[in-house]
Amino acid sequence: MNERMVQLDVLRYDPQVDDEPHFQHYEVPCKEEWVVLDALNAIKESIDPTLNYRWSCHMAVCGSCGMMINGEPRLSCHAFLRDFEGVIRVEPLANFPIERDLVTVADDFIDKLKRVKPYLIPGETRSIDEGEYIQTPAQLMKYRHFSMCINCMLCYAACPQYALQPLFLGPAAITLAHRYNLDSRDGGRDERQQVIATNEGVWECSFVGACSEVCPKAVDPAGALQQVKVASTLDWFREHLLPGDTK
Partner 1 sequence: MSRRPFVRPVSRTRWYFKHPRYLRYMSREVTCVFIGAFTLLLLCAVERLSEGQAAYESFLAAIGGPWSALGLSIVLIFVVHNAISWFNVTPKALPVQIGEGFLPGRFIVAAHYAVWILISLAVLFFAGVL
62 binds, among ligand SF4, ligand FES, partner 1, none (CB under 5 to 8 A by kind): ligand FES
Site for ligand FES (CB under 6 A): which residue of 7, 50, 56, 199? 56
Within positions 178 to 207, which residues make up the interface with partner 1, using CB under 8 A? 206-207
Phi, then psi, of 31 in degrees rounded to 5: -85, 155
Q: Does 80 bind ligand FES (CB under 6 A)?
A: no
Select 193 or 212, whichever has its Cβ closest to ligand SF4.
212
171-183: burial string, b at 16+ Cβ within 10 Å, e else: bbbbbbbbbbbbb
Residues whose CB falls within 8 Å of the CB of residue 149, separated by 6 or more in sequence, listed in order: 172, 175, 176, 179, 217, 219, 221
Q: Does 141 bind partner 1 (CB under 8 A)?
A: yes
CA–CA dist 201, 116 (Å, integer) = 10
- x/- site string to ligand FES, residues 86 to 125, per CB under 6 A? ----------------------------------------
Site for partner 1 (CB under 8 A): which residue of 6, 10, 13, 112? 13
Select 147 or 184, whichever has its Cβ closest to ligand FES.
147
Stretch of residues binding ligand FES (CB under 6 A), selected from 54-62, 97-105, 153-161, 200-208? 54-62
Residue 48's Cβ-count burial label (10 Å; 0-12, 13-18, 19+) is middle
CA–CA dist 100, 104 (Å, integer) = 7
Q: How many residues bind partner 1 (CB under 8 A)?
A: 34
189-196 vs 221-241: helix crossing angle, rounded to 10: 100
Residues whose CB falls within 8 Å of the CB of residue 80, separated by 6 or more in sequence, listed in order: 33, 34, 35
Which residues here bind ligand SF4, judged by CB under 6 A?
149-155, 171-172, 175, 215, 217, 219, 221
Q: Interface residues with ligand FES (CB under 6 A)? A: 55-58, 60-65, 75, 77
